[in-house]
Amino acid sequence: MSAVPSPMSGEAPKRILPRRPISVPLDMMILRSGIPEALEGHSTDLSEAGVGVVVEGELAAGQQVAIELRLPNVGDSIRARALVRYQSRSQYGLVFVGLSEDQRDAIRYWILHSSPQSTNHRDFNQEQKVVVKETETPVPVVRRNPQPQRGNRNGWRWFYLLFVGVLALAGFGWWQWQRAWAELEGQTQVAETQTRVSPVIVTAERVSPETMAKRIVTKVDPVYPEAARVAGTEGLVVLDVVIAPDGSVKSLHPLSGPDLLAQSATEAVRGWKFEPYLSSGSPVEVETTIAVEFRLN
């Protein structure tokens, strides 16, 4: 295993893909001494390769983190793992690891619509200006070569097809945004109705990983998958876990980590047992985060 080199402070590595400025809140999860820690911050720029962030905490070059941020005017959340590549004061440069194709498409779509002065838009305006001039001229023009006229018709056809495609993408993005907003409003209305009907909390209460780590009664160690061992795969698997009032694991799903290790971590944590968490003297259902680390040797 080779360590990631730490570039000099204030000097970012040469970027292969262009980045666009973006300033939205983001959530970050890191591992300190085997315990996951949540950090808050905001993004500064974004591309398909990585993201610039400012967080309330210190990160180290080569450190693996899990981040979540929502793209403006798109409605999609980017949940991904990343590596810290460089630092400039409180700003860090992160490189995505294992970004899915759907997430890359969402970032490309956002970059396309976040640039009001793209090259394609300038070409469209220039083509439209040329056509207007030819249309407004009442005197017939004798063309020596008919080839440019065919090229102009092809240009209009290309412009029309691309314009229809952009409208379709914009409509699809708007539909997704409206659906997500409607779901959010529906959840809010349901929560308000339940609160008015009964003061009892019907959803799982969020508890910090440190608190639940102290309440572990039975802990099952995960089995290192042979395929991951042969491939030399290691890393951190972060799970979102719902614990029933009796202390058993009710449900769980991976948030980040190598796929070869996530299944083993899920099977192990499913057998864990906790002391019941009490709220107002009664055991309640809680939700927390559990990190399982896999290291060779």
12 domain residue, yes or no: no
Kindly list the distances between the CA atom of residue 30 and the CA atoms of 11, 49, 83, 98, in Å, as whole numbers in the listed order. Answer: 23, 20, 11, 17
Are 123 and 192 in a shared domain?
A: yes
Are 220 and 259 in a shared domain?
A: yes
Are 246 and 216 in a shared domain?
A: yes
Are 230 and 268 in a shared domain?
A: yes
13 domain residue, yes or no: no
Q: Last residue of a domain, which of 51, 74, 109?
A: 109
89: domain CATH number is 2.40.10.220
9 domain residue, yes or no: no
Are 214 and 288 in a shared domain?
A: yes
233 domain residue, yes or no: yes
| Listed ranges 79-93, 113-127, 189-203, 273-287; the one with the highest mean pLDDT | 273-287
- Residue 89's pLDDT is 76
- Reported confidence tier of residue 116, pLDDT bands at 50, 70, 90: low
Are 71 and 95 in a shared domain?
A: yes
Are 89 and 168 in a shared domain?
A: no
Percent of the chain with pLDDT over 70: 65
1 domain residue, yes or no: no
Q: Is the pLDDT of residue 142 over 50?
A: no
Are 99 and 128 in a shared domain?
A: no
Q: Is the pLDDT of residue 152 over 80?
A: no
Average pLDDT estimate for 224-240 = 92
- Tokens representing 98 are 């294992």
pTM of the entire predicted model = 0.37
- Residue 72's pLDDT is 84
Report the range of poorest mean pLDDT among 118-122, 192-196, 232-236: 118-122
- Tokens representing 155 are 């240009």
For helices 101-114 and 147-197, give the axis angle rounded to 10 degrees. Answer: 110
Closest alpha carbon to 45 in 6, 64, 17: 17
Mean pLDDT score of the chain:
76
Is there a contact between 61 and 87 (Cβ–Cβ < 8 Å)? Answer: yes
223: domain CATH number is 3.30.2420.10
Q: Which residue has the higher pLDDT, 150 or 63?
A: 63
Are 188 and 260 in a shared domain?
A: no
Is there a contact between 238 and 36 (Cβ–Cβ < 8 Å)? Answer: yes
Structural domain containing residue 123: 116-133+154-197
226 domain residue, yes or no: yes
For residue 25, the cross-strand partners are: 42
15 domain residue, yes or no: no
Are 290 and 218 in a shared domain?
A: yes
Residue 224's identity, in one-letter code, is: Y
Percent of the chain with pLDDT over 90: 29
Give how many domains the chain has, as a whole number: 3
Is there a contact between 92 and 59 (Cβ–Cβ < 8 Å)? Answer: yes
Are 242 and 173 in a shared domain?
A: no
| Residue 42, burial from CB neighbour count under 10 angstroms (0-12, 13-18, 19+) | middle
Report the range of poorest mean pLDDT among 57-66, 70-79, 129-138, 161-170: 129-138
Neighbours of 8 (CB within 10 A): 9
7 domain residue, yes or no: no
- Reported confidence tier of residue 225, pLDDT bands at 50, 70, 90: very high
- Reported confidence tier of residue 5, pLDDT bands at 50, 70, 90: very low
- Residue 181's pLDDT is 67
Strands (DSSP E) contained in the chain are: 20-21, 25-32, 35-46, 50-55, 64-70, 77-88, 91-97, 205-206, 216-218, 235-243, 249-256, 273-274, 278-279, 282-283, 286-294
